[in-house]
Amino acid sequence: MTRSMVDISRRWGFHGIDALKNASPGYLMLMGSFALLAVAGAAVGLHGMIVGYHHVYGVSREISWGILISAYVFCVVTSTGLCIISSIGHVFGGEAFMPIAKRAVFMSIIFMLGGFCIIFFDIENPFRMAIYNVISPNLSSNMWWMGTLYGAYLVFMVIEYYFLLEQNHSLSRLMGFFGLVVGIAAHSNLGAVFGMLHGRPFWYGPYLPIYFIFSAAMSGGCAIMFVTTLAWKINPEIMNQRMERAMKAICQVTIFLISTIIFFTIWKIVTGIVSHEKTIVIMSLVTGDYAVNFWLFEIFLGMLLPLFLLIRSRGNNFNMIMWATGLMMIGIFFMRYDIVIPGQMVSVYHGLGVEEALDILKYTPSFHEIMAALLGLSVICFAFFAGEKMLNGHQLEKHEIVPEGGYICPGCGAIHFLAEGETEEEATKRHHKIW
Amino acid sequence: MKFPQIDLNTLKNEGTETVSIKERRNFLKLGLAITGVYAGGKILSLSSTYGSAHASVGLDFVEKYPYNPHYSMVIRQSLCIDCEKCVDACKKTNHVPDYGYRTRILTRKYQGQLDKKVEFIPVLCNHCNDAPCVRACPTKATYKDQVTGIVRMESKKCIGCKTCMLACPYDARYFSAERHAVDKCDFCWEERLSKGETETGCSSACPTGARTFGNLTDPTNIVFKLVHQLEETVWVLRPEDGTKPNIFYMKGNMLSVDNILKGQKFQYSDPAKS
């Protein structure tokens, strides 16, 4: 058993638990603090679950989706985005994007799991969900499709990751394709969960499903650059010529996608100010309670600063890229928050002109909600840091770990294994054939 | 500008035989359409009937209501005095916790009006025929009752995702920790109607008759009579959402309404003489 585990980890180029033993104390402390935060988040979340969420959460009857849904959206948007960006390489054959595939797919799975951790503490009866989603599905519900498709998406991504490790490129490509299709379907359904609610003019319409897909791609580009540059700080050896080329390509794509989102945001604002109920929301973003969120985090940290820094970095100043994308991740979180909360702050009876609905509704995240959101985010951070060490920086290119009978594929940069009496050229063809 | 001079007295009668049947039919149709629009137009955009049946077109509309009994409530807004007896009755009947409500009374204030400075608007679940909450629920925990059209909850299926609370354009839902599910008005089906009562808790508690509950498919029912009259405007909340709600609103303080309820036809009264 141990023997076969060792064989598998050699075959997949893993360092396993041993890598953690060799890690520096600072690194272990960082991982430990994320683990502690996750445990604390889970404990606080469970406390909330036991005493009843309505006692400890800041959400109300009118604003029933709070920071937890925002954090969930943030996680699944990033997950889908990582899938989209990585698919440019290993599904559609964009060669420059290939080296990031393994890290992107791994992080995509992790972000999805982090999202599930968060939604677990948002849904009041998560255990019923597992039962009644299956035996009593409502096919007209976006929520049902979103949950179901994201479940399928996670399965495809896990299988894809397995085939990536196994160097079975044709099957990993097939799974990556299915994962991409299902992921986009799931993610646009998430947009439609918001976009198909009649009573919420800020959300209603086809804008959100479309915006979510582009926004996901942008988040994906940002996230993969951030985690790659962070990994480069941890282990400079992961950066090689192929990876540098990949970073440059992703940097270009992300610059394009940030511009797209700026375009989307401008039109959201401009169209919003001609509709009365939307204007209230837009004005609270532009000059009201959410102005700091909007201008400082969403616009400056989420769009303008990274756009400037990424252009300045020319795709090869990794320190600059790390700062740009790291701050951008924070900005993107607020971007999600600025969709979820303001969409609910105009009462459905506002148009009736009644006293109860004149003012915009307020929401402040409670301690319990913040901790439950931090649970998901720290699970992601912990898994990232653990993964970088244990999975050997998601690379197979280091010569010393090329196992017996393997070689580095000039096409994809990964290790391929030769069959009996096969040349490297034949092996490359075999690994990259499309069914 | 010159107009053609037509002397109607000397104009020759062309006779009806030259008018084709098709033309006649079109003419009659036009007349019917105009009458229909004026007579039924008021309820046209408001009533929750499927298809295009209206009071003016004959009695076939009775069958057009999709449910039988088609429960509905008419709120005569001017009669509401904000005593909140309905809210209390609802809480008591349906064991509604303090932090939630199934129905409430909204207040609209006016300035510069001669007769009134304030108006009270009771709101509750509209039991929409096209209910957004029913569409949004992932597990069919909330559903349209096939017989009565009441939007009900099957609490054990509710996963607590709260999509229905946001989907509802009437803010009629809240999460009940006691039930471990979203809770909402069910026209007192569980507590009263299914036990043989004919009124909801709120409508029976209302001292002024602002809330009238009944069956829209029964022409002798008060709700039917209030909705199918032309003298007073009947409206619904947020018609633009196209949810086909079953809570109708009217001012309800006019003489004509009393006349209708007493089974009389409309009578003119001269305000100068009274």
Question: Which residues, 6+ apart, have CB-to-CB distance to A234 below 8 Å?
Answer: A27, A385, A388, A389, A393
Q: How far apart, in whole angstroms, are the C-alpha atoms of residue B202 and residue B271?
A: 35
In Å, how far is A52's CA from the nearest CA of chain B?
7
Mean pLDDT of B78-97: 90
How many degrees, rounded to 5, is the angle at CA A53 between CA A52 and CA A55?
75
**At residue B241, does pLDDT exceed 50?**
yes
Instruction: Tell me if A147 sits within 8 A of A417, measured CB to CB.
Output: no
What is the pLDDT confidence band of residue B59, given thresholds at 50, 70 and 90? very low
How many degrees, rounded to 5, is the angle at CA B240 between CA A188 and CA B41?
145
**Least-confidence region, from B34-38, B66-70, B206-210:** B34-38
**Least-confidence region, from A163-177, A180-194, A364-378, B47-61:** B47-61
Interface test with A, best of B166, B180, B241 (most A CBs within 10 A): B166
Going along chain A from its start, the domains and CATH numbers come out as 2-401 (1.20.1630.10), 405-435 (no CATH)
**At residue B43, does pLDDT exceed 60?**
no
Among the partner-chain residues B107, B139, B158, the one whose CB lies closest to the CB of A133 is B139
Query: Regarding predicted confidence, which is higher, A193 or A359?
Result: A193
Computed over every residue of chain B, the mean pLDDT equals 78
In Å, how far is A203's CA from the nearest CA of chain B?
11
Domain chopping of chain B, boundaries: 37-261
Q: What's the CATH code, domain B37-261?
A: 3.30.70.20
Interface test with B, best of A132, A347, A352 (most B CBs within 10 A): A132
* A&B contacts, CB < 8 Å: 132
What is the pLDDT confidence band of residue A274, given thresholds at 50, 70 and 90? confident
Interface test with B, best of A63, A64, A123, A363 (most B CBs within 10 A): A64
What is the pLDDT confidence band of residue A231, given thresholds at 50, 70 and 90? confident
φ, ψ of residue A365 in degrees (nearest 5) = -65, 140
Q: How far apart, in whole angstroms, are the C-alpha atoms of residue A57 and residue A141?
A: 26
B9: how many CB neighbours lie within 10 A of its CB?
5
Kindly determine whether residue A133 and residue B159, on different chains, have CB atoms separated by under 8 Å: yes
Mean pLDDT of B17-24: 71
Return the pLDDT at A397: 46
Is B60 exposed, middle or buried (CB count within 10 Å of its CB: 0-12, 13-18, 19+)?
exposed
Among the partner-chain residues A54, A200, A351, the one whose CB lies closest to the CB of B175 is A54
Return the pLDDT at A72: 93
Q: How far apart, in whole angstroms, are the C-alpha atoms of residue B29 and residue A351?
A: 38
Collect all residues of chain B within an 8 Å Cβ-Cβ radius of residue A132: 139-141, 157, 159
Mean pLDDT of A374-388: 89
Return the pLDDT at A184: 92
Return the pLDDT at A291: 86
Kindly determine whether residue B139 and residue A351, on different chains, have CB atoms separated by under 8 Å: no
Tens digit of pLDDT for each residue in A297-308? 889 988 999 999
Return the pLDDT at B49: 43
**At residue A201, does pLDDT exceed 90?**
no
Helix, coil or strand: residue A156: helix
In Å, how far is A123's CA from the nearest CA of chain B?
5
Q: What is the CA radius of gyration of chain B?
A: 24
A15-41 burial, b for 16+ CB within 10 Å, e for fewer?
Answer: bbeebeeebeeeeeebbeebbebbeeb
Q: pTM for the whole thing?
A: 0.82
CA distances from B3 to A85, B6, B13, B176 (A): 74, 9, 21, 74
Q: What is the CA radius of gyration of chain A?
A: 23
In Å, how far is B75's CA from the nearest CA of chain A?
15
Return the pLDDT at A398: 44
Q: Please state the separation of Cα A144 from the chain's center in Å.
A: 20
Instruction: Tell me if B248 sits within 8 A of B227, measured CB to CB.
Output: yes
Q: How far apart, in whole angstroms, are the C-alpha atoms of residue A15 and residue A23?
A: 11
Tens digit of pLDDT for each residue in A310-336? 888 887 888 888 999 999 999 999 999
B196: how many CB neighbours lie within 10 A of its CB?
6
